[in-house]
Amino acid sequence: MASAGGPRPRAGAGLRAEGWGWRHAGREGWAVRGLDLVIEPGERVLLLGASGAGKSTLVQAFAGVLGGVDEGHEEGSLLVDGQPPEGVRGRVGLLMQDPDSQVVLARVGDDVAFGCENLGVPRDEIWRRVGLGLAAVGLDLPLEHPTAALSGGQKQRVALAGVLAMRPGVILLDEPTANLDPAGVTEVRDAVAAVVRDSDATFVVIEHRVDIWLDVVDRVVVLAPGGGVLADGDAATVLRERGAELARDGVWVPGIDPLGGRPVRSARPGAAWGGPEAVLLPDGLRESAGQAPRPDAATPSTEPGSSATAVPARRGELLLSGRGLAVARVPGRVVADGIGLELRAGEATAITGPNGAGKTTLALTLAGLLPASGGDVIAAPVLARGVSGSRRARRAARRRDARPRPTRSATDAPAPAPRIRSSSELLADPIVWRSRELLTRVGTVFQDPEHQFVTGTVRGELEVSLRALKLPDEEIDARVLEVSGRLRLDALLRANPYTLSGGEKRRLSVASALVARPRVLLLDEPTFGQDSRTWAELVRLLAEQLDRGTAIVAVTHDRAFIDALADQEIVVAEGAGALAPAKGGLA
């Protein structure tokens, strides 16, 4: 199993833990304790375990970056090539999950060179290794290329190139693809697989999505939550014997459906054919930008052959629609246009498409958070009822209306004339609503839950929107209890939101939107990086909301999520601006 080093200069390093434990300073419990583990030089290991089993602590210890003595209490011994990790700097390379904090410097070449500089490698040799490193991860970019302009997957590959340039004997990866979309996952996985194939380095990866690495590893080690090793052996054996247990702990085990094979939507005729309905957007929609809204202009036509067409019953009440929408994160810089869609009560819409195509921008525009650059977001009367809007937002909208509206394809058609909206038309646009008027109408769950935390406790997070709505105290208490119980947050009500685990943060961010009972709920990548247990909980919860008549929109790359929930899929195409029809045969 351990490949002999042979003539190559730097063979794989061996890792050994004996009775090892670590307790972070200021914590009562041990992150890891009583661990005995030997990894031979050249082995390729997948490290599994429930969250909180100390996997990250272990690999950080092997990399010698757990921190000084004032940061924790260590017991037992931990050795790399028979020496403590601090003594063999550069022998161990570590890549962690957040791409934004794995890249150190502003230019690609400089970043790859960073590790070599720290190890005192001579200048000429550094640049030789930079070239080799970038080639090894398959990146063909100029050395001057700004790292800020890289995608998440590219950032991880640049960081990996930097690790390789240090010529490590061990490569440790801590969920390197957790924050990436499927394309990025494949990209990084393939780069790593190639590197591992061509090197003698020992390789350890932590990952809760097992299928990504199955072909790359030859051994699976499962850490027990209390400390020690739960299972250890070849992948097939470990997964066969421990698969069910691992899946219960949230590990994505190939072949085990987190939903237990049961459909979650109770009343969804579309479920019969097992997948969402693909929406074709008529090309003519692009011309509707700037015109007065036509009632049925943007009704998506459905694929004629599918059984999903003849289902007026499942079409609920129209709540929110977009017509000829052009969306821009920064005013004037349109990222997608010609978008038409309708959101109906009790229906789930998935917004998909490649990175940078403007999916999130589209969602934020529908949510009344960003102004549309062209076209209209129109709330149906039933949704807009009772809004008065904010005077300042109305004035801003009028100013925008008076300006010629930029589109991405400005040359295609003459710029539409400035338009005049009546007061009621204006009030149908969520961008003019007051912040608290949004709460009960359109709720938004951001991709990063931490962006939306505004108070110091979980309870505070759940109460804040209810207080903004000026609900009576009893009502607030009742709702907080209900939603916290439903999302298993009741034991955490006094905790600080930032101290929660990833899954808890996600549940809280969804709960804090749901507690105001919005009729439309928008979620940006709700299942990103979630373990299978949280994933299943979210899917079931959203299915419940759909049954209650909430319209749900999710920006997502998650095919299983779409299959489980979505009624329609909107594909935002890259570059083209307009929407491409969803691929046929989605089911």
Partner 1 sequence: MSGIVRVAFASRAAAGRGKPVPLPPNERARPVHSTTAKIAASAAVRRRSLRWRVVDIVVASVVGVAAGLVFWAWNLVYAPITDPLAVVAPGAQALLYGVWLFAGVLGGLIIRKPGAALYTELVAAIVSALVGTQWGGALTILSGLAQGLGAEIVFALFLYGNYRVYVAVLAGAGAGIGMAVNDLITWYPAMDLGFKAVYFVSAIVGGAVVAGVLSWLLVRALARTGALSRFAAGREATAKA
Partner 2 sequence: MSSTAATDALTPPRGAQAIYRVNPVAKLAAALALSLLLLVTIDAVSAAVALVLESVLFFWAGLGPRAFFRRTAAIWIAAPLAGVTTLLYGVSAGQSYLQFGLLHVSDGSIALALATVLRILAIGLPAVVLFATIDPTDLADGLAQVWRLPSRFVLGALAGMRLLGLFFDDWRQLELARRARGLGDTGRLRRFANQAFALLVLSIRRGSKLATAMEARGFGGDTVRTWARPSPFGVKEWLLITLGVVIGVVALAAAVVTGSFNFVIG
Contacts of 382 (CB under 8 A, 6+ apart): 317, 319
Residue 34 to residue 52: CA distance in whole angstroms: 15
Q: How many CA atoms lie within 13 A of 469 on its CB side?
A: 22
* Residue 352 or 465 having the CB closest to partner 2: 465
Residues numbered 70-89 forming contacts with partner 2, rule: CB under 8 A: 89
Rounded to a whole number of angstroms, the minimum distance from the CB of residue 162 to partner 1 is 16
Site string for partner 2, 154-193 (x = CB under 8 A): -----x--xx--x---------------------------
Binding to partner 2 by residue 121, rule CB under 8 A?
Answer: yes
Rounded to a whole number of angstroms, the minimum distance from the CB of residue 273 to partner 2 is 35
Place of tokens 């939507």: 265
Segment contacting partner 1 by CB under 8 A, of 23-31, 149-157, 268-276, 474-482: 23-31
DSSP 234: -
Q: Which of 5, 76, 90, 581 binds partner 2 (CB under 8 A)?
A: 90
Give the CA dihedral 234, 240, 245, 248, nearest 10 degrees. Answer: 110
Binding to partner 1 by residue 83, rule CB under 8 A?
Answer: yes
Segment contacting partner 2 by CB under 8 A, of 98-106, 240-248, 337-345, 485-493: 98-106
| 36 touches 221 (CB < 8 A) | no
Contacts of 237 (CB under 8 A, 6+ apart): none
Segment contacting partner 2 by CB under 8 A, of 3-11, 27-35, 361-369, 398-406: 361-369
Rounded to a whole number of angstroms, the minimum distance from the CB of residue 372 to partner 2 is 15
Segment contacting partner 2 by CB under 8 A, of 302-310, 341-349, 404-412, 464-472: 464-472
Binds 494: which of partner 1, partner 2, none (CB < 5-8 Å by kind): none
Residue 268 to residue 264: CA distance in whole angstroms: 9
| 233 touches 220 (CB < 8 A) | yes
Binds 438: which of partner 2, partner 1, none (CB < 5-8 Å by kind): partner 2
Widest distance between CA atoms in the chain = 80
| Angle (deg, nearest 10), helices 458-468 and 502-514 | 20
Residue 404 to residue 289: CA distance in whole angstroms: 11
Relative to beta strand 202-206, strand 92-95 is unpaired
Binding to partner 2 by residue 45, rule CB under 8 A?
Answer: no
Q: Which of 40, 74, 104, 229 binds partner 2 (CB under 8 A)?
A: 104
Residue by residue, DSSP assigns 297-311 as TTPPEEPTTSGGGS-
Q: Which of 450, 475, 548, 575 binds partner 2 (CB under 8 A)?
A: 450
Q: For 271-363, where are the E strands, in sequence order? A: 277-280, 301-302, 318-328, 334-344, 348-352
The values of phi and psi at residue 407, to 5°, are -125, 170
Q: Tell me how many residues contact partner 2 (CB under 8 A).
A: 74
Binds 24: which of partner 2, partner 1, none (CB < 5-8 Å by kind): partner 1
Segment contacting partner 1 by CB under 8 A, of 4-12, 68-76, 175-183, 362-370: 68-76
Site string for partner 1, 494-513 (x = CB under 8 A): --xxxx--------------
Q: Tell me how many residues contact partner 1 (CB under 8 A).
A: 28
Q: Which of 18, 241, 257, 283 binds partner 1 (CB under 8 A)?
A: 18
Answer positive or negative: Cα dihedral of 341, 343, 347, 352.
Answer: positive
Q: What share of the chain is helix, strand, coil (3-state, %, to 5)?
A: 35, 20, 40
| Angle (deg, nearest 10), helices 532-547 and 502-514 | 10
Binding to partner 1 by residue 234, rule CB under 8 A?
Answer: no
Residues numbered 392-431 forming contacts with partner 1, rule: CB under 8 A: none
Q: Which of 1, 7, 9, 28 binds partner 1 (CB under 8 A)?
A: 28
**Structure-block tokens of residue 33:** 């304790």
Site string for partner 1, 85-114 (x = CB under 8 A): -xx---------------------------
Chain residues in the site for partner 1 (CB under 8 A): 18-19, 24-28, 67-77, 79, 83-84, 86-87, 456, 496-499
